[in-house]
Structure 1
């Protein structure tokens, strides 16, 4: 993610800020320009000031009142909610317990997901705009029921268990499931990968090309998952898959690879914004050397440049984390087959695979085929 500045005083500000700590102006994120705006009250709305001043009236997303969103919408437009919050279907009852604090964490992760989706110019449709549009529900367990909320995807409806926003609870689940990495943002990126499989692969004319890379997705999904949980990942999965869960079924392989593509491109974008250059003194063969001076979100950037720079940057991040006594930031190894899969995702998001319209971002009619299923995570 890029590094932002206050248009009023040029002070460095961050994506979640609502006030500039130097000049005390209110701040809001405007997705169309990918900028933070410095704001002053103007009648019943806000107007931007400083370097990006104009006469357009703005208001905060309606979820601003709960302290969970800082995105802006045109004050003279019809929308009360911003481009991310319009996808919310069910949100927590903020009057109960610590639901508000957990929801705030949910929304931070979700807005960072949307930042990448918008930078990649990917199609986005709400449930109002399309029957299989993208919708989110954040649910907590019913104390009167033995059934637990499961995180997963079902025909565009993404459910995230509210407990995943509790750091301690999420760590318990990560450990019990033997996962090296489990974060809220990781959940969002994985589950939305299922939705984009529907939109870009199934509906986008890329089914056979995708199967050539990820395998035959027509194999029974439930049986594949049962076998995965009963027997564990197949031996040598590291040579072909980005994670052991990716080896369970081609749909999960696609969603896991999609999530890692977003991890990598967004973190490289952050490195570029901060001016990162990785050049270890002992690296005589330049295997861990990279200057991140390219746009990872651009279609013109080759996947090889992305993967080689990521090797250098992620190695440095892991080394820094170890120096702080923390777990590796990126505890994964990208084999050549995985890099090839990332290359497929790179081509897919930039319209080089399939037949979906790039100009309109609209999906074609949904054929009567299998749909990427609900993923169940304890």
Structure 2
């Protein structure tokens, strides 16, 4: 996730910021422009409308008008803005959520806000990759639910374009309990959403994109009995065999669908972390084991078609540095993975599909990186 600067004063701000701490400007993310903006009220143009502020010392304002997402106005739960000519009261991210938990419960409200924040981060990365939003196409829809007393537990998963997530995953203690019980090295809200979005985009890019033959050659045949495969996976307990030679995680070894979803999530991890590192290139360099020179991390979105080998060359030393920083503070590794050559082949498959989709949706005549 890149960092941003306040339109008005130029001070550093972040993707989830709602106010510039330096100049006091109201801030909102503009999905139609994929940028953070300092806004000023425009009551002369209509109730609850805002304009983009100009640089300090100027009187220039953008002609484009916005309103704040209703979840910001009513619940302080969103920092996305809606173009004034879009008559929806929810932003493009919030309107993807079809079912909410009971928000009169303060715990559910807190959890839901955390889940929506992770979903906006997912939205940003997918939009930057050209996967959404695209006029005339639909992204996934979401149902965020809480367990009810005496009822069946809410199971996180994907079915037919709908991603369901149990909001209990927003509680650190509960998430840690489940991670330990399942023998997982990593479990986060953004990781869940990236994984489940992988199932959605498997339908879009592989099944409906004419890529089944290539997918099966790399990941295996998804027609294998899914339920039986998962039962066998959990029956093995911690004795999961030599999964690391071909997969990004132990769970990826359970079935080709889960292999794809885990690999997809990992690819989004790579994209987001590389973009974050590139945003902070103010003299910080990452040692490149393949070169005697020190290597600057570059933004994976800086060119229309980032080369996968360039991403990998930056990824390995970057994650080593990330883990070393965590260890210096007495924390566990932030990136508890080691990618094998077999896993890299699968990540490359995901990369090529995403980049092909990006090129199909990009304006014709643009430069090719």
2:285 corresponds to: 277
CA change 1:217–1:298 in 2 (3 A) is farther
Correspondence 1:9 to 2:14:
no
CA change 1:208–1:90 in 2 (3 A) is same
Maintained 8 Å contact 1:26/1:38: yes
1:265 corresponds to: 271
Q: How many residues align?
A: 351
CA change 1:129–1:350 in 2 (3 A) is closer
Q: Which runs of 4+ in 1 moved over 3 A?
A: 123-126, 285-290, 296-299, 356-360
Higher-RCO chain (CA-CA 8 Å, sequence separation at least 6): 1
CA change 1:188–1:6 in 2 (3 A) is same
User: In the aligned structure 2, how far is the partner of 1:67 from the partner of 1:352?
Assistant: 35
For the aligned residues, what is the CA RMSD?
2.3
Q: With structure 2 as the length reference, what TM-score do the two structures score?
A: 0.90
User: In the aligned structure 2, how far is the partner of 1:322 from the partner of 1:3?
Assistant: 24
How far the C-alpha of 1:101 sits from its partner, in A, is 1.2
Maintained 8 Å contact 1:181/1:331: yes
1:365 corresponds to: none
Correspondence 1:242 to 2:248:
yes
Correspondence 1:142 to 2:148:
yes
How far the C-alpha of 1:294 sits from its partner, in A, is 4.1
Correspondence 1:53 to 2:61:
yes
Residues 93-142 of structure 1 show CA distances to partners (whole Å, capped at 9, x for unaligned) of 2211311111111011101101100000014589x976xx5111111001
Maintained 8 Å contact 2:267/2:350: yes
CA change 1:119–1:333 in 2 (3 A) is same
CA change 1:87–1:352 in 2 (3 A) is closer
Maintained 8 Å contact 1:290/1:312: no
**Alignment gaps of 5+ in structure 2:** 364-369
Maintained 8 Å contact 2:274/2:298: no
CA change 1:216–1:330 in 2 (3 A) is same
User: In the aligned structure 1, how far is the partner of 2:291 from the partner of 2:331?
Assistant: 26
User: In the aligned structure 1, how far is the partner of 2:29 from the partner of 2:301?
Assistant: 21
Correspondence 1:317 to 2:326:
no
